[in-house]
Amino acid sequence: MTTTTGSYHVADFAANLPAEIRRLDAQVDLFWHAEKPLLMRHGLQDGMAILDCGCGPGRLLELVANEFQQLSLTGLEVDPILVEACRDRFANTRHEVEIHQGSAEDPGLPAASFDLIVMRLVLEHVPDPVAALKSLSGLLKPDGQIVIIANDFEFHLRTSPNVAELDLLYEAYCASRRQDGGDPCIGRRLPVLFSQAGLIVKGFDMEVSHSKLVGDQAFFQAEGVGIPAQLVESGFLDQQVFESMIRSWKQMLKDPNHSIMRPLFVGVARLPREADRDHTLANPDSLQRVVDDPEECQGGPGYVSPSSETEEVLARLWSSAMELPEVGIRCNFFDLGGDSLMLEKLQSDVLDQLGIRVPMAVLFQYPTIEQLAGYLDHEVRPVAAHEASDVQGDNTQHSVHEGTFDARNHSQSSASSSSENSALKNKAERRREALSKKKRRAERG
Ligand SMILES: C[S@@+](CC[C@H](N)C(=O)[O-])C[C@H]1O[C@@H](n2cnc3c(N)ncnc32)[C@H](O)[C@@H]1O
């Protein structure tokens, strides 16, 4: 019998198997209204070969099969109990779904055979997520995509009125999953994990369910008290906290205007293409050279100063966004304590100073000054100054989806790219001067 590693084992996750299968099914149903359009936006359509990795008892496969009749569907599941449950689901139905026993790390499926791989609430349980992503990327067709849907328990189910004990519950849950080798806060890491696995980040979204949209019942079925009760049993959660949480939960439900909401994180990636490879060849070790010790980055032995104009500008912008005296070019933005607010400031400063509109996904993908400068110098088509001014107040519109990138005319030579860059800097400069003249005129009345 195959043994499973990581922090999910169906036999330990619930008091009994049918209850856990019902909970897993309900977790898929809870988000389907948001997930279906999201998967379609990322290319799900008839005619495709789809793999659901870690398919569990197969509810997602079933919903997809009901909606699309011309798909070739495969489920990959490591746990033999769930393989059996999944096969049972499709036995005697009109759906032809192949259920294969294997793991993300060792799938045992033919290379380059899937248009779309979905992995839902699985990566957080896998001990080496980068190895799993690398292995799955070998199953993608050249134009294929991988969609990872993941929890991040610091952004988990929330209510209004607030059930304060949920904080302690999630703390206990995280401690327990980490002890088993999982990462319950993996949602925020998806773009960086893609990069580490050699994939190109295409998007990073959130899907959200709300009791007003799906009803309270949908949440009760997907959450239940099974996991909290087990956390009490295993000593991670205090019995009194558990009881107090149940009381607060019931109280919350009495409020006629109560809300329950839960988000999930969705990362989308693809295989690198020729143009991406050109960039890597021009910067052979650009993805490896990262110093992750914050102390080393500021004047310590790992400090490397900027050596190009773009690096100098970025180093100034990083210091200002993070309020640090200096930042070495090989320091990882996130290891230095960079957060999403700082990233937004950086995005708007880069636009202002270099006239380049950099999508958030790119900032996640190139987390050091050296990597980002390399990307900007080699692959960027700068936005025109008038576009730049349109964009400034609107970070979300173009931050996540590849289709909206302006920063990626890969066929361009680096020479023409950098001459366009300086032309653009001049334009941006002129625009700033024009704006300040206008401001001075307005002040003079
Ligand atoms: C929380 S369940 C999610 C099931 C399903 N994807 C869903 O959304 O309902 C996690 C699933 O991942 C499977 N799993 C865990 N580690 C795995 C691995 N390394 N490779 C493939 N599946 C794995 C578990 O057996 C389980 O079925």
Which residue ranges form the domains of the chain, and what is each CATH number? Answer: 10-284 (3.40.50.150), 294-444 (1.10.1200.10)
122 CA distance to ligand 1 centroid (A)?
5
Q: Which of 369, 333, 363 is nearest to 347 (CA)?
A: 363
pLDDT at 379: 63
pLDDT at 411: 31
Determine whether the shortest distance from the Cβ of 147 to ligand 1 is under 6 A.
no
Determine whether the shortest distance from the Cβ of 120 to ligand 1 is under 6 A.
yes
Question: Which residue has a Cα nearest atom 10 of ligand 1?
Answer: 122
Determine whether the shortest distance from the Cβ of 53 to ligand 1 is under 6 A.
yes
Closest-lying ligand 1 atom to the alpha carbon of residue 149: 8
pLDDT at 322: 83
Determine whether the shortest distance from the Cβ of 54 to ligand 1 is under 6 A.
yes
101 CA distance to ligand 1 centroid (A)?
12
* Beta-bridge mates of residue 166: none
The secondary structure element, H or E, covering residue 270 is: strand 259-270
What b-and-e string marks burial along 101-132, b requiring 16 or more CB atoms within 10 Å of the CB? Answer: bebbbebebeeeebbbbbbbbbbbbbeebbeb
Return d(Cα 130, Cα 142) in angstroms, integer. Answer: 19
pLDDT at 311: 87
Q: Which of 173, 165, 218 is nearest to 8 (CA)?
A: 173
Report the chain (445 residues): mean pLDDT per 10 consecutive residues. Answer: 60 76 96 96 93 98 96 97 96 94 97 97 96 97 96 96 97 95 96 94 94 97 90 96 97 98 97 67 50 63 78 89 83 81 88 86 82 76 45 33 31 37 45 54 60
Spatial CB neighbours of 114, under 8 Å, sequence gap ≥ 6: 49, 50, 51, 74, 139, 140, 141, 144
By the 8 A CB rule, do 122 and 54 touch?
A: yes
pTM across the whole model: 0.67
144 CA distance to ligand 1 centroid (A)?
21
pLDDT at 303: 73
pLDDT at 331: 83
The secondary structure element, H or E, covering residue 99 is: strand 97-101
Return d(Cα 380, Cα 268) in angstroms, integer. Answer: 21
DSSP-based three-state secondary structure for 374:
helix
Segment 164-185, tens digit of pLDDT:
999 999 999 999 999 999 999 9
Closest-lying ligand 1 atom to the alpha carbon of residue 56: 27
Determine whether the shortest distance from the Cβ of 82 to ligand 1 is under 6 A.
yes
- Locate tokens 């349109």: which residue? 390
pLDDT at 321: 86
Determine whether the shortest distance from the Cβ of 77 to ligand 1 is under 6 A.
yes
Which residue of 78, 101, 134, 151 sits with most ligand 1 atoms within 8 Å of its CB, as the best mutation to test the pocket? 78
Determine whether the shortest distance from the Cβ of 364 to ligand 1 is under 6 A.
no
Determine whether the shortest distance from the Cβ of 103 to ligand 1 is under 6 A.
yes
121 CA distance to ligand 1 centroid (A)?
7
Determine whether the shortest distance from the Cβ of 121 to ligand 1 is under 6 A.
yes
